[in-house]
Chain A
Amino acid sequence: MPKQKPDLPQGTLDMLVLKALSLGETHGYGVGQRIQALADDMLRVEEGTLYPALYRIEQCGWIESEWGTSENNRRARFYRLTRAGKKQLGIEETRWSHLTDAIARVMQATTA
């Protein structure tokens, strides 16, 4: 089997964005960098698709944004987790661990 970076499962990008922003305020590029760093470059994300996700999450009120100046003195939009976002991250983490537990159990049963 050829080695391949897995695509992101449907609906998990939001959770990853929240997780990345829980480490502190950053711009869109920073969010992408963080996700890649955390995944040790194992996940493949089309970088541009991050932005519609960011906008959608912002409309949910989980993050908020502001124009500011980047480390290299460029105008950039910075994102920050809101209180609601923190709560949402908690919910998503629990759900995710339940889901992976369940899937792991099923997979073990079949191999046994």
Chain B
Amino acid sequence: MGKMRVLRDRLRALWQPDRVHDDIADEFRFHMEMRARENERRGMSAADARRDAEQRFGSAARIHDIAYDVRGGGWAEALWQDIRYGARVLASQKVFSATVILTVGIGVGANATIFTLVDRLLLRTLPVERPGELEQLTLPNDWSSFSAPFYRELRRRNDVFSGVLARQIEPATIGTAGEARRGLIELVSGNYFSVLGTRAQHGRLLNDEDDRVTPDSPAAVVSDRYWRRRLSSDPAAIGKTIQIDSHAFTVIGVAPPDFFGVEVGVAPDVWVPLAMQPQLYSPGHSLADDADANWLTVIGRRARGVTHARAESGATLVLQQLQAESVRPIPVDWPRTIQLIDMSRGLSRLRRQYEASLRLLMGVVAIVMLIACASITTLMMTRSTARRREIAVRLTLGATRARLVRQLLTEGAVLSFCGGALGIVFARWGLGALIHVLPAARVPTSVDANLDARSLVFSLALSMLTALLFSAGPALRSTRPDLAGAIRAGSDSITARMQRMNGRKILVAVQVALSLVLVIGASLFARSLAHVAAIPLGFETDNVIIASIDPSLSGYKPGRVRRFYHELESRLVAIAGVRAVGFSAFPLLGGEMSMRTITGPGAPDATNLQSTLVTTNTVGGDFFAAAGIQLRRGRGFDARDSLRGPRVVVLNEAAARHYFPGDNAAGRTVLLGGAQPATVIGVVSDTKYVSVREENPRIVYFPADQDPGVMGGGERTIYVRTTGSASRFAGDLESAVRDLDKTIPLYNVKTLATQKSQALVRERLVATLSTLAGSVALALAAIALYGLISFGAVSRTREIGIRVSLGADRASVIWLIIRGAAGMVIGGCIAGLGLGLLLSRFVRSHLYGVSPTDALTMGMAVGVLMCTAIAAALLPALRASRIDPTEALRCE
């Protein structure tokens, strides 16, 4: 109670210090009046009574101060005074303050943006109970999918986990009354929520009962986001029905607000029991007893007291038991040990994809922050020189050094705080933009674009640290007692000035060095991106529009799916300007593919997966023409290759060389799965498939019409090759589908060129951001250089005046000024090159086709920096060269 009272009083004193002063004075006055009256009563004269009262009271002013220390705002009030004074001083120096705030803002903004992404993807643990106990099961060869029988047996037999869950995430069409949208569902084992230790926000979560058999109305748990957006946060939504891929589910509960499943950046809208797999995943085909279908992520929670190593050997034991029995969880030639991966931070494709890039960018923004600090320190030093007289006056008037240092630090903190606030605004924009470019693959990613408390704390802490860094030095220096002598002379000694100039020169040189590192990095990444973008893909990305579609989600059976695509093809081909139309089961450069074991004369042994497991794609329409893939031999697919016709395939050249070395593949036979014969009817040119940077893979193409349509449902990517710009045809494409069946949604509509640039998003991200960082660094270095040189030139006005009057010409004056800058720039460049070489090993893995120590790149970067430096120095040098000698000698 006492504490609250003190706080309340102090805060009141902050708002109304005068009232507190008046209160105290009133009370003192009353006291003295009373004493004086008493004295008079005892017979003193009025004047004596008054004097005696004052004497007995003691020094009223001193006691008032002591009393105010108790009653007033205390430290809070002193701080508030400092802040107000600081704000006034800063407001009177608008250009200086704006420069510092903007610089801090850029630094903090860049760091907060990257930190937020790093935090979301790399640092934060899952919002579940004791996340440190969770482990993902994988094999040493990075395999991480397992079959339902393996999961069942592992769960039953292991003695190292307190619980084991299985899950698979899948896009689906989710509908409530009146609307259907593409969303994500997670098929989960019944114990999913209990193993994670998650409790329902409303209703209840799934349990083993829900996962037992396929009931008529299966249960579903919706995410908090879905509940808010689609079910209007209605608690009565529990018990309602939602449609998933045209199957009815009953909503039994809502997951807690912060729960997003187990995969960072991929948040499902609905959780459904694994038992619904035959309806939702690989429709019509139960995988419950299929030991060959590896499709589940398996996650275990280590039992109390079980170490990571012991859990690993326990899981491996089960795997080896199963392998020895009739269940074969993995191919025979694979390593038979389980590797557990720490799951405390969740699964993340995004993390795997971006971890290295994010760490790199973290380094880049840290360097930007250092440059910002160096740049502000230079500014602060210049300013504190200008304020020397004010500080000296205050020191001689009796202000303590501590008080002045505190004042200067507070000013720094005010600037940093404003800069930090600006940085948070920048970070919000930056984050929104960054998340926007993270690619939407088959499974759309969702990373929250809001800055949360952690990011805000990070930004504020960073800006306060900056304040300390850049204001402590100048504050301590400028209040050094010997400087008080400055007040007499009006200007300080030459040596002191030289010392300060040297300090600033070193700081500018540091900035030059760090900027050079960033410029080198930026040009390396830009050149690497150019190299990657120039890699031949084997197909033509210009003038092709693509889109994804899945008629099976609207309840189409395989036969009707085939008819649908034929009809769509003939409608699209009829549009004026369309040159070719094709389909593929997996999109080019979509990051995914399917694989199949196929044998041929060059690779006869089906158990040798290295040699016979080959990438496949199922294509329809005139896929090769639409994608711009060249036919080398034989023919492409046509109407002859129907479900009733003989099995046929098309190979790319790499596959043809592999299966038929030194021979013409067209007309020959390969064996699908090592058994079923299929005739090779043609050979096409090599292409990339999954990503731009891969080696051209061996690809076997199957005709869509011979696909019984079991695995993978009916999802296809449509390719439309057009004359001229393809994006104009998006509307035609959509209306063609709508005319056929308006219940089938078309999604991921984009040009093939966009698909390519999305496949390069990581490279582009690093190149763009480092270029941005490099430009900012250059600008800051240029400003610092300009500021320092003009300051130097102004303080040498007299000297220049004398030189000019002694006959120096303009060129020699310009040279004099530029020569002063040359030392810093050259020194900085040498240091920067050294630093660049030191750091080169960290960027090697991020580069394609260019060495991190590439001499041309380094030379160019030095050139860019030199040009910037000369430009920054030339302006003050020109100004100095126009100095009128008589004018210059008269001043001071």
Known pairs A48-B58, A48-B59, A55-B71; A77 contacts B27 (CB<8 A): yes
Asked if B30 is at the interface of the complex by the 8 Å CB criterion, the answer is yes
Interface locus among B32-40, B338-346, B412-420, B497-505? B32-40
Q: Mark B59-80, 1 if CB is under 8 A from A, else 0.
A: 1100100110111000000000
Q: How far is the CA of A74 from the CA of B474 in the complex (A)?
A: 54
Asked if B56 is at the interface of the complex by the 8 Å CB criterion, the answer is yes
Q: Mark A70-94, 1 if CB is under 8 A from B, else 0.
A: 1010111100000000000000000
Q: How far is the CA of A74 from the CA of B27 in the complex (A)?
A: 11
Interface of A is mostly: helix
Asked if B24 is at the interface of the complex by the 8 Å CB criterion, the answer is yes
Contact of A74 among B1, B30, B56, B59 (CB under 8 A): B30
Q: How far is the CA of A51 from the CA of B71 in the complex (A)?
A: 10
Q: How far is the CA of A62 from the CA of B834 in the complex (A)?
A: 68
B5-A61 in contact (CB<8A): yes
Known pairs A59-B9, A61-B2, A61-B5; A48 contacts B30 (CB<8 A): no
* Residues from chain B with Cβ under 8 Å of A11 in the complex: none
Q: How far is the CA of A48 from the CA of B30 in the complex (A)?
A: 12
Q: How far is the CA of A55 from the CA of B24 in the complex (A)?
A: 10
* Residues from chain A with Cβ under 8 Å of B435 in the complex: none
* Residues from chain A with Cβ under 8 Å of B66 in the complex: 49, 52
Interface of B is mostly: helix
B65 CB to nearest A CB, Å: 9
CB interface residues, A 57-75, toward B, < 8 Å: 59-61, 70, 72, 74-75
Contact of A76 among B2, B30, B35 (CB under 8 A): B30
Q: How far is the CA of A46 from the CA of B55 in the complex (A)?
A: 9
Known pairs A28-B27, A29-B31, A74-B30; A60 contacts B58 (CB<8 A): no
A75-B30 in contact (CB<8A): yes
* Residues from chain A with Cβ under 8 Å of B35 in the complex: 29, 47
A5 CB to nearest B CB, Å: 13
Q: How far is the CA of A70 from the CA of B58 in the complex (A)?
A: 23
| Count, chain B residues at interface, CB 8 A | 27
A48-B60 in contact (CB<8A): yes
B63-A29 in contact (CB<8A): no
A28-B37 in contact (CB<8A): no
* Residues from chain B with Cβ under 8 Å of A49 in the complex: 58, 63, 66
Asked if A19 is at the interface of the complex by the 8 Å CB criterion, the answer is no
Q: Mark A6-49, 1 if CB is under 8 A from B, else 0.
A: 00000000000000000000011100100000000000001111
B57-A48 in contact (CB<8A): yes
Of B31, B57, B69, B70, the most chain A CB neighbours within 10 A belong to B31
Asked if A98 is at the interface of the complex by the 8 Å CB criterion, the answer is no
Contact of A51 among B5, B28, B33 (CB under 8 A): B28
B585 CB to nearest A CB, Å: 78
Asked if B871 is at the interface of the complex by the 8 Å CB criterion, the answer is no
B16 CB to nearest A CB, Å: 15
A11 CB to nearest B CB, Å: 16
Asked if B6 is at the interface of the complex by the 8 Å CB criterion, the answer is yes
* Residues from chain B with Cβ under 8 Å of A72 in the complex: 34, 37
Asked if A95 is at the interface of the complex by the 8 Å CB criterion, the answer is no
Q: Mark B496-532, 1 if CB is under 8 A from A, else 0.
A: 0000000000000000000000000000000000000
Q: Mark B299-321, 1 if CB is under 8 A from A, else 0.
A: 00000000000000000000000
* Residues from chain A with Cβ under 8 Å of B56 in the complex: 46-47
CB interface residues, B 1-54, toward A, < 8 Å: 1-2, 5-6, 9, 23-24, 26-28, 30-31, 33-35, 37
* Residues from chain B with Cβ under 8 Å of A29 in the complex: 30-31, 34-35
* Residues from chain A with Cβ under 8 Å of B58 in the complex: 46-49
Q: How far is the CA of A51 from the CA of B23 in the complex (A)?
A: 12
CB interface residues, B 359-410, toward A, < 8 Å: none
17 additional A-B residue pairs with CB within 8 Å, beyond A29-B35, A55-B70, A74-B33: A28-B30, A29-B34, A32-B31, A46-B56, A47-B58, A48-B58, A49-B58, A51-B27, A51-B28, A51-B31, A52-B63, A52-B69, A56-B70, A61-B1, A75-B26, A77-B27, A77-B30
Q: Across chains A and B, which 9 residue pairs bring their CB atoms closest together, nearest first? A: A61-B2, A48-B63, A48-B58, A46-B58, A55-B70, A29-B34, A48-B57, A52-B66, A52-B67
23 intermolecular pairs with C-beta atoms under 8 Å apart: A28-B27, A29-B30, A29-B34, A46-B56, A46-B57, A46-B58, A47-B31, A48-B57, A48-B59, A51-B24, A51-B63, A51-B67, A52-B63, A55-B67, A59-B2, A60-B2, A70-B30, A72-B37, A75-B26, A76-B27, A76-B30, A77-B23, A77-B27
